Amino acid sequence: MRVLAYTSPARGHLNPMMGPLLELRRRGAEVHVRTLSSQVESVRAAGIECEPIAAGAEAIVHDDHEAKSQIRAGQRSFATFARRAPHDAPDFEQALASVRPDVAIVDVSCYGAKAVAEREGIPWAESRPFLLEEAAPGVPPFGLGLRPMRGPAGRLRDGVLGLTSKAFDRKARLPAVNTGRKAAGIAPLAGGDQWRHRAPLTLYFTAEPFEYRRPLPPGVEMVGPGEWDTQAELPVALPEDDRPLALVACSSEFQDDGEIAAAALAGLGSGDWRLAITTAGVDPQSLGEHGDALVARFLPHSPLLERASVVVCHGGMGVTQKALAHGIPVCIVPWARDQLDVAAHVLEAGAGTKLPRKRLSPVRLAEAAAEALACAPGAAKVRAGYERAGGAARAAELVEGLAEREGAVQIP
């Protein structure tokens, strides 16, 4: 079986795919990846064929951190996806012609590539590394960071605020979908939910109890989070002593969240904690003196999580779920994008604490991180739920089943 995986220019969207892809290769599949140029060599080092995505798509970067409201930031994000679609549609076409896959896996935010996959009628799966956005009974509207509310008051709240979500879908999400369909040369879609989950299979990289108990749309399968790291060992030494270790992580896609790292250095770096800080898009030099903290743009998180007592982060799905997959509680300062909702899911699961961005200070962050330590039992329950979901092995089985069901290959 030959597999083609196509990602957006985001590390957080590549990493969840890699576990299933490596498992498929282990089972004998020939696997090809198209991803952001900075990660090509890491993927190749893992033993998978890889080429960069179109430079035009990669050059279009998110500017949502400049928005003044949550809704406006979301609009900017989907405008970015729409601008990338005319690049990723022909790029995916070329990848199909070159690889001639039996089955494809396409990132959820690559609207041009998804439309091409639909047009071609190939067996394909959507890779979804963030939370479902559609309404469901008892599930609050997406994007507002709300926790479930039971009873008549909850139903009233969700119904009223759900109108805001529907308006956002109409004005921001659907235009991005139809820009991708135009790039692929197929008819646009109307409103409603007909544009959701058009792939025969969606690999949903989460599981209960982090995800709320809800009916899943047809074809959507929870497989637990991705845990792949580019390295298995730390490239630098970590101070070893009896203090608890806090891993502090900024977003892998720039969103100007360096204030979290600066507050952690000032609030947790006073001697009670050991700190390891990954700044990603933030220049480490902008943080000033580091003391004995380990600070770098990128470090493999897995070996740090094996020693960490808490993770302090912006609430990105990738680092949040990777922490919980290790049973480590989290302290979230939600910055933007889907991070308010991620924080709400963490609180509902009892797996960590939340500090609102407007209340961020060194003292408050230190208090919230210390409070998160008591959430270890909730984090352990989430870890167990992830393990029950089956992880990379389950995702690989689903992809094989898709290829076999669609008549592409016969899996021995």
Please tell me whether the overall predicted TM-score, pTM, comes out greater than 0.85 for this model: yes
Tell the CATH superfamily of the 245-387 domain.
Answer: Glycogen Phosphorylase B; (3.40.50.2000)
Q: What is the DSSP string of 146-210?
A: PPP--HHHHHHHHHHHHHHHHHHIIIIIHHHHHHHHHHHT-----STTTTS--SSEEEE---TTT
Q: How far apart are CA 199 and CA 104, in angstroms?
A: 10
pLDDT tens by residue, 88-128: 999 999 999 999 999 999 999 999 999 999 999 999 999 99
User: What pLDDT, in 10s, does the model give residues 212-248?
Assistant: 999 999 999 999 998 888 776 776 777 778 889 999 9
Nearest CA among 191, 217, 258, 208 for reference residue 126: 217
Amino acid at residue number 37? S
Residue 230 has a pLDDT of 77
Residue ranges, CATH 3.40.50.2000, the chain: 2-224+390-405, 245-387
pLDDT at site 118: 96
Closest Cα partner for 295 from 250, 335, 355, 256?
Answer: 250
353-385 pLDDT tens trace? 999 999 999 999 999 999 999 999 999 999 999
Q: One digit per residue, pLDDT tens: the chain, 412 residues?
A: 999 999 999 888 999 999 999 999 999 999 999 999 999 999 999 999 999 999 999 999 877 676 667 778 778 888 899 999 999 999 999 999 999 999 999 999 999 999 999 999 999 999 999 999 888 888 999 888 999 999 999 999 999 988 888 888 888 889 999 999 999 999 999 876 788 899 999 999 999 999 999 999 999 999 999 888 877 677 677 777 888 999 998 887 777 778 988 999 888 877 788 989 888 878 777 877 777 788 888 888 888 999 999 999 999 999 999 999 999 999 999 988 789 999 999 999 999 999 999 999 999 999 999 999 999 999 999 999 999 999 999 999 999 999 988 766 655 5
Enter the DSSP assignment of 254.
Answer: -
Instruction: Dig out the tokens for 19 from the structure.
Output: 């576990």
Residues in Cβ contact with 322 at an 8 Å cutoff, skipping those fewer than 6 apart: 225, 226, 227, 301, 302, 305
Give the C-alpha separation, 329 to 36, whole Å. Answer: 30
Residue 136 is given by DSSP the state: B
CB atoms within 10 A of CB 218: 9
Structure tokens that stand for 199 in this block: 């792939």
Distance (Å) of CA 340 to CA 284, 337, 343, 357:
25, 8, 5, 10
Over 324-390, what HEC string results?
Answer: HHCCCCEEECCCCCCHHHHHHHHHHCCCEEECCHHHCCHHHHHHHHHHHHHHHHHHHHHHHHHHHHC
Tokens of 210: 């982090």
Tokens of 378: 């909730």
For position 235, what pLDDT does the model report?
Answer: 67
Fold for 2-224+390-405, please state it: Rossmann fold (3.40.50)
**Residues 6 or more apart in contact with residue 190 via CB below 8 angstroms:** none
Distance CA 285, CA 294 (A): 13
Looking at residue 292, its pLDDT comes to: 79
